[in-house]
A and B are shown apart, each in its own frame.
Chain A
Amino acid sequence: MSWEKALIDKAKEIIDMYPQKRSALGPLLYLAQEKDGYISNDSIVEISNLIGITEVQVKSVASFYSMYKEEQTGKYLLSVCKSISCEINDSRSVIDSVKNFTGLENYETDTEKVFTFEEVECIGACGGAPAVQVNYETVEGLTPEKSLQMCEWLKEERPEIIVAEELQEKFGGVKSFDWAIKDNTGSSYSVPGFQNIGTAKEKS
């Protein structure tokens, strides 16, 4: 499906932030990811027209980076860290408990499109290992039990907007660092919540 005018206007605002149109490719791909939960070919055509490079050049970038998904993700993208700090702090059991609950293997999405599960490399939360991201909102200091509770909560509550602080309060444990800034924004789909490109959503 082609893009609506509001989305195209948003894209044009982003393009204007760069000296060269093609530099806006990354953020525009996030817009596409937020729209459909993956980078659809229709979105690729739109982006290629907007920034004046060919479709296959857009596809080349979109298929290179693993945060741009080629298949539609569920409403909640569960990224469990498997790198060294988390591994030492028993991320394996967190992974197992998430896999058990969702019944998903790596990179799989359930048929209701609620969860997508992936094991990822370091997400920069070593101080609070093991850590998990839900739609790129980070929760630290998880235990297998807490992660199970989190999955259950997501499945029952189906929150529209995921906010890291809320998750941390409800299910988290040790935190690597306290920024001491209240941040009530999060993300609404499998895309990071960025203020400057408008993917960050405020939770009321």
Chain B
Amino acid sequence: MTDQIKINVNGSEISSKPDQLIIEACEDSGIHIPRFCWHKRMDPVGMCRMCLVEVETPRGKALVPSCTTKVSEDLVVDTESDVVKKAQEGVLEFLLINHPLDCPVCDKAGECPLQDQTMAYGPGESRFVEDKRHFEKPIPISEIILLDRERCILCARCTRFSDEISGDPLIEFIQRGNKTQVNTFPDEPFRSYFSGNTVQICPVGALTSSSYRFKARPWDLKKVSSTSNCSSVGDSVELNVSQNKMLRILGEDNEFTNQGWLSDKGRYNFEYLHSDKRIETPILVKNSNKELTINETMELISNEILTSENPNISFIVGHNSTNEEYYALNKFVENLNKVENENTVSTTNFYLSDDYLYNGFFNDDYSLGEIKDLDSADTIILWAQDIKDNLPTLYLRIKQAVKNGKKLLIFGHTNTAIKELSEEYYGENIVTNNFEFNVDLSDIPNLSKYIDGKDVLAIIGKASPLQNVNPIFQLVKHLDQNSNLKILNCFSKGNTLGALQNLDIVKGLNEFVTEFDSSKKNIVFTVGSNPVNNSIYSHKIKEALIDSDFVVSLDLFKNETTELSDIILPTTTFGEKEGTFTNLEMRTLMQNKILPTPGSALNEWEYWLILSNKMNLLESYGTEAELNSMLCKDYIDNGNIPSFDNLNKPSNLDGILNSKTINIEVKNIDSTNLEILFVHRLYGDSSSQINSPSISMLGSERFIEMNSATYFGSYMLHSDVVTLIQENNSIQVNVNINENLPDNLLVIPINRRGFQDLNPEKKVELEAAKSREQLSVT
């Protein structure tokens, strides 16, 4: 097969890939064919007939839909003939018959393909004088999505998305003929992690999101491209701002990462930016929350560090800082260590606030993979935390790869939700509840069939925060010996890789807890992290912070951690700062600033700079760009550095793949608790989510999961509401039965409210709840 074939469009010759659709081939050559239903990331359906073009056939010219017709050598296409124009006018006239034409009150107006194409290709006037069809409008089809069926033109983009792309078809065409409508099943709302994408791809204003309704007009929006912090995939997004308020986040099509899609958390988790609970001035907590100036605060902190005798200075860092901020923090600590002070030797450590941190595979023994390897590998191996909840857009890529024939092998017990995608699911017969192997690796059924001599991409990370990691290394070694292996290190949270690349040595929260020595002088900085919540170590960290001498929190909101702090410093986040982000495949992407900084908040790096100056540690930077050029020197491929200049070049908008040396020092743990698997769900009770009204309630339900044998057998339960008891703690929870789980394993979402006080090393009891109480926490 030749690489390119020639076709003739509107009298001029263009080249096209064989087997391409006419609409795609034309698009690639800059010839736009109007369309509603066709979307390049979904299968064609030929629903709307807007893309009709004239093609020469042996029987003469014929109108064909260009979205379902493939090109062939020397095909002659006319996209602008009179016949085509007449067809387009006809299609539009029909589409508008039942369309309410309520553009003046429609959110889509101004960016509406139906509006734009009616202007460009429509007949100009309607001959329809009868009554239009009416539906109740709009109806909520989930907590965050509303549907106006009158505006719908039945292109099936949303229903195809939910079936083909996200795999949770909760919306479908109901009825037929004139009554055809998109709808959900009664009492079964469109609760999908990806529902917001349907709003973005809807070519009319039929689907709208509650957070953006009536907020702005498209022509009033200021727009900038950026990278989402939602997960370590680093989804490319477009931030839409009006009057200095973030109003909307749209997915951008980045071939290498999210391919245009976003999870609903990535899309709707922004209202917190403008919450009136944001901290806007430094606060002295221990002095009845007195508000201070930046100067006073920095004075206090530097004095505390300088006057302490041999202090332990710990930095518990989160995953929402930019690479530049991590780098500035690292410089600050480096200089701090160099300070010559006769009676002070400070010990400094970085701890990353991620229960799933382990040493990973970063040395030269293994070759690292990219997300795009999903499309070229023969076999995909998955052993990590729940992908759909923690790396939602990576899940979409995996689903797509499986659809294209890649074999997915899943090791238990976290990815139960996508079991049906897998060729082999290695559950309790292979993997124990303690995440060790029951059998010799060479005896795993069918494993060798799928890996021997094949191209394998292994998405590997800790599946359970409490697991011993030796089996992971054992598996990877086995895969490496038998296949052509590439590894995608699965650290799921935000800019984790940026932290690992730019901080010298990174430890985990377990290290913080075990290394904590209350007999010493302890100064703790929590940097954009809230370790007293959402971690299995939360209760121990809480004790450690109470025992600490001085705690400084850099954060956006008051939370469980700042309650224990001496000083809270207001910082900035996504949208309010410029910097770079490194995703899980070590692709560096740009995060741009479009919002002003609230109150007297500063970027994290500015605090490190001021603090350095206060302590006479002279720093040689003054802007993000200067930090960026300093940190770029450490990248391994020096010709391809992810500098601001390079990243802003049009050819690099999809990011730059480059790596740095990574040092993680996490000690292995020997899990003793066999009965609980702690997981992170997409929605939880993070400060950002509970301060975003549109999605705040999505993480409020408390539930645990187990299979029915455990439910009936081990716990002898009979109620779907149970009380979970551990020592003095008791929590009322719902029980969800999940038959893909092994016997005697309880799954507990640690990032839901109420679970943070559990001690992971102790057993829990379950008993049927005495009365059915309201379980949602608001």
Give the B-binding residues of A (Cβ under 8 A): 41, 44, 53-57, 59-60, 63-64
Contacts and interface: CB of A to CB of B under 8 A. Distances in A.
Interface string B175-200: 11000000111101000000000000
B175 A56 contact: no
Contacts of A57: 169, 172
B174 A59 contact: yes
A21 to B, nearest CB: 12
B216 interface: no
A54 B188 CA distance: 10
B176 A56 contact: no
Contact of B183 (A44, A54, A56): A56
B170 interface: yes
Most A C-beta atoms less than 10 A away, residue of B168, B185, B188: B185
Contacts of A44: 185
B176 A54 contact: no
Contacts of A56: 169-172, 174, 183-185, 188
Contacts of A53: 169
B185 A63 contact: no
A54 B171 CA distance: 9
A63 B175 contact: yes
Interface residues of B, number: 14
Contact of A63 (B169, B174, B184, B186): B174
Given A60-B172, A64-B175, 10 more contacts: A53-B169, A54-B169, A55-B185, A56-B169, A56-B183, A56-B184, A56-B185, A57-B172, A63-B176, A64-B176
B135 interface: no
A59 B185 contact: yes
B186 A54 contact: no
12 contacts: A41-B185, A41-B186, A44-B185, A54-B170, A54-B172, A56-B174, A56-B185, A59-B185, A60-B172, A60-B173, A60-B174, A64-B176
Contacts of B185: 41, 44, 54-56, 59
A185 B188 CA distance: 40
A57 B184 CA distance: 9
Interface string B553-596: 00000000000000000000000000000000000000000000
A122 B170 CA distance: 35
Contacts of A64: 173, 175-176
Contacts of B171: 56
A60 B183 CA distance: 9
Contacts of B172: 54, 56-57, 59-60
B600 to A, nearest CB: 51
A55 B170 CA distance: 8
Nearest to B190: A56
Nearest to A62: B174
Contacts of B175: 63-64
Nearest to A70: B175
A53 B168 CA distance: 10
Nearest to B184: A56
B45 to A, nearest CB: 15
B402 to A, nearest CB: 17
A63 to B, nearest CB: 5
B282 to A, nearest CB: 51
Contacts of A54: 168-170, 172, 185, 188
A180 B185 CA distance: 47
A57 B185 CA distance: 9
Most B C-beta atoms less than 10 A away, residue of A41, A44, A60: A60
B188 A55 contact: yes
Most B C-beta atoms less than 10 A away, residue of A41, A53, A55: A55
Contacts of B168: 54
A43 to B, nearest CB: 12
Nearest to B180: A64
Contacts of A59: 172, 174, 185
Nearest to A61: B172
B623 to A, nearest CB: 52
A63 B173 CA distance: 9
Rank and list the top 10 A-B pairs by shortest CB-CB distance, nearest first.
A55-B185, A60-B172, A56-B185, A56-B172, A64-B176, A63-B175, A63-B174, A54-B169, A55-B188, A59-B185
Nearest to A44: B185
Nearest to A48: B185
A44 B183 CA distance: 15
B303 to A, nearest CB: 62
A99 B169 CA distance: 42
Most A C-beta atoms less than 10 A away, residue of B169, B172, B173, B186: B172
A41 B174 CA distance: 14
A64 B180 CA distance: 9
B422 to A, nearest CB: 15
Contacts of B174: 56, 59-60, 63
A63 B172 CA distance: 11
A55 B184 CA distance: 9
A57 B160 CA distance: 12
Nearest to A41: B186
Most B C-beta atoms less than 10 A away, residue of A55, A56, A64: A56
Interface in B145-181: 168-176
B405 to A, nearest CB: 18
B457 to A, nearest CB: 28
A54 B169 CA distance: 7
Contacts of B186: 41
A59 B171 CA distance: 10
Interface string B530-560: 0000000000000000000000000000000
